[in-house]
Chain A
């Protein structure tokens, strides 16, 4: 070989042709398609000056006529908080219990057979595909409005997807050794699970359940539009008595936001201190706990056992009351009180439940119908919903990429910038997107515009945090190498940080699209556009229930499609 080197003639002929794998090409086309659709959706939202000013004028008029901000009385507050928390606790708990067998079947190392594994995983995906609000509406009609049972059932069904997935992940991460030891001692499958697997996964399971309760509390507001009581219903009622009660509605909103933050603080503290598990999730309360405890490891379990010197096995039967044992017992009692209290405050069975209506209502959901409209109208509504979601996602994506990058330690020019953006994202995250959307839509009288802005706003809180975290997690060897080669900070960002964080960036953005679609399918009930409008108007009469089934299947199908695309893209750009 001649030593002509890189400048030599014929180098281009000798260099290998760049070959793109087919799945990369398909993946790129899908992403391009999604991007074009999203940008088109954003441009299609009428953000004209005339519309905006009209909305702002409406809002100004309302605010001028409204009473000052006011809060519910202490008694009302206690009652409403109890009701809301009760529904969240019971619903999440129901999902947690149902998730145990599903996770057992879905985890590779415990599943009895391959086909069981796929069925259980399928059930999880399916339960996620039905938005909680939709389940609440459907079940509310079976049990008559005025019962909170539909709310509990909606959380109980919809949360199975996430909870069973994380439960199964935990099972797959256990140490198999103790399970084999129990099998070798003659333990049955059930005994192997409850004595070998369960004690190992319990802390992680509790953490997952608490995390899901955080999420469900944020989502609970929308249940008001299915006729379910609580803080959300109070907000809804105050929003209807416009304009005087706007101040009260804003007061309700503040209470909800503070309750969410307080709940997250409690749940994150339990997860961290009791379970020794770093709390997941990007909620404001969780972030506060993380900031306050930054750098300090979770307190260790008491390693200094109390003196225990039994003279004989008989004497040892009496278990000593160590601090650890007392603490465990207290927590078990607290948990029992919370659950029992939730049955009481949530008023699940107190009134309004009409079991006789169950089967007739069930039957009224079939056959599918479109209420005399051409099916094209339904697809148009679905498209409208998707457009709001896509427009909000692309808006949030652009802003989150900036905010999230600057909130990442390895991208931000200095600690101040990083912390400032972290705090900004955390504050944004403190507003439940659904509350923001409700207030914005009602106050401005704008539908899609307000919905898009609200979802994009919430999206920054979610995606910004996920981007910042994933960028901080990329291996920083390549960044160092580029710095050593004289690259500037932006060059380092585009050549090292961004390429390494690309896969999670794609995954997280698809996740946001998925979240936004669910949210936007619900916003119609408060005056947005799309499937929500038909859904809410069809909920009234039994004769229109077939339409609900049609819509629900369309929504679930779209969610599954988004999820499938997301899986494919993650795989293609691995």
Chain B
């Protein structure tokens, strides 16, 4: 389904991705794990051509993205849905119209107002809203909904595309714990029912472990971890993750200050501190 080969991306002087290789098979649920700035979002945005690689090759659903013409790229994007950390609904439009924008790739020309969408599509949109449990909100303005509800509307918009691949960029980073659980469960449930391939970026190890089939860890734009989650424990992730991420000066500092002599334990502590510092950044 997705093949990323030796992809490097630089924005001017900063390198966002360095020599990344990744292969995702049909129906796989993959979590991209890493702290903010590690390149998760950039990698995701390469998978639907929102960004093009500086070097290397990205192949999605058998198409090499860099070679597609604009019209073909739009067609491909129609088959690859994406949900975002900030939901990204149009605030002044109704919930249903937001959902229907997911069908634009299949329609020719612009649509202004609900009445410009064919009835069959409107019905399908309402069906997707029903599926995420928000049918009653169909005709309210999107900005009247809570964060968790807005993200569910965004999922319905993704479903409207009848996608084969679902990309999720920190889908719960802006939500409270309860809504987070709901949204993560909903994505998992829909992925299983519709046989979707999912690539989801997260920064919390806890969430990632119980949820995905496979974890890909990123740090400073490089893949530092790629392993199935089955039978994996948190300390193991921390450890594998930590072996690459923690510098020797950090280790010595922790060893000295906390009196932790054992290197693996010191790494785990460093990672935990790191995660605490960065994990709380989400607005």
Contacts and interface: CB of A to CB of B under 8 A. Distances in A.
Interface stretch (B8-16, B88-96, B236-244): B88-96
Contact of A187 (B87, B101, B123): B101
Contacts of B50: 180, 183-184
Given A191-B110, A195-B110, A310 B135 contact: yes
Given A313-B123, A317-B119, A319-B139, A187 B104 contact: yes
B150 to A, nearest CB: 11
B77 interface: yes
Interface in B78-98: 78, 80-82, 84, 86-93, 97
A317 B90 CA distance: 21
A263 interface: no
B104 A185 contact: yes
Nearest to B128: A313
Interface string B52-84: 000000000000000000000011111011101
Interface in A291-312: 301, 303, 305, 308-310, 312
Interface residues of A, number: 38
B78 A185 contact: yes
Interface in A355-384: none
A187 B105 contact: yes
A30 interface: no
B105 A198 contact: no
B223 to A, nearest CB: 23
A308 B48 CA distance: 37
Interface residues of B, number: 48
Contacts of A193: 110
B3 to A, nearest CB: 20
Contacts of B74: 186-188
Contacts of A316: 126, 129-130, 135, 138
- Which one of A177, A178, A184, A199 has the greatest number of beta carbons of chain B within 10 Å? A184
A556 interface: no
Contact of B84 (A181, A303, A325): A181
A312 B130 CA distance: 8
A468 B92 CA distance: 34
Given A186-B74, A191-B104, A317-B123, A181 B139 contact: no
Interface in A175-227: 175, 177-178, 180-188, 190-191, 193-196, 198-200, 202-203
B102 to A, nearest CB: 5
Given A180-B88, A200-B91, A186 B161 contact: yes
B104 A177 contact: no
A328 B122 CA distance: 21
A13 interface: no
B230 interface: no
B123 A305 contact: no
A301 B157 CA distance: 25
B181 interface: no
Contacts of A194: 110-112
B140 interface: yes
A180 to B, nearest CB: 7
B109 A184 contact: no
A195 B84 contact: no
Given A181-B82, A184-B77, A195 B92 contact: no
Contacts of B158: 185
Given A186-B105, A202-B92, A305-B140, A313 B127 contact: yes
A70 interface: no
A482 B136 CA distance: 59
Contacts of B123: 313-314, 317
B220 interface: no
Interface in A267-313: 301, 303, 305, 308-310, 312-313
Interface in B128-178: 129-130, 135-136, 138-141, 144, 154, 157-158, 161
A275 to B, nearest CB: 11
B109 A186 contact: no
B122 A317 contact: yes
A195 B77 contact: no
- Which one of A200, A203, A316 has the greatest number of beta carbons of chain B within 10 Å? A316
A322 interface: yes
A182 B91 contact: no
Nearest to B126: A313
B90 A195 contact: yes
A122 interface: no
B188 to A, nearest CB: 21
The list of the 7 closest CB pairs from A to B, nearest first, reads A186-B105, A313-B126, A194-B110, A186-B78, A186-B77, A181-B88, A177-B88
30 contacts: A175-B91, A178-B89, A178-B90, A180-B50, A181-B101, A182-B101, A183-B50, A184-B50, A184-B77, A185-B77, A185-B82, A185-B104, A185-B161, A186-B104, A187-B101, A191-B104, A191-B111, A194-B110, A195-B110, A196-B101, A202-B92, A305-B140, A308-B136, A313-B123, A313-B129, A314-B123, A316-B126, A316-B129, A316-B130, A325-B139
Given A184-B50, A184-B80, A185-B105, 16 more contacts: A180-B84, A181-B88, A184-B82, A185-B101, A185-B161, A186-B78, A187-B104, A188-B110, A190-B110, A194-B110, A195-B90, A308-B139, A309-B136, A310-B135, A316-B135, A317-B122
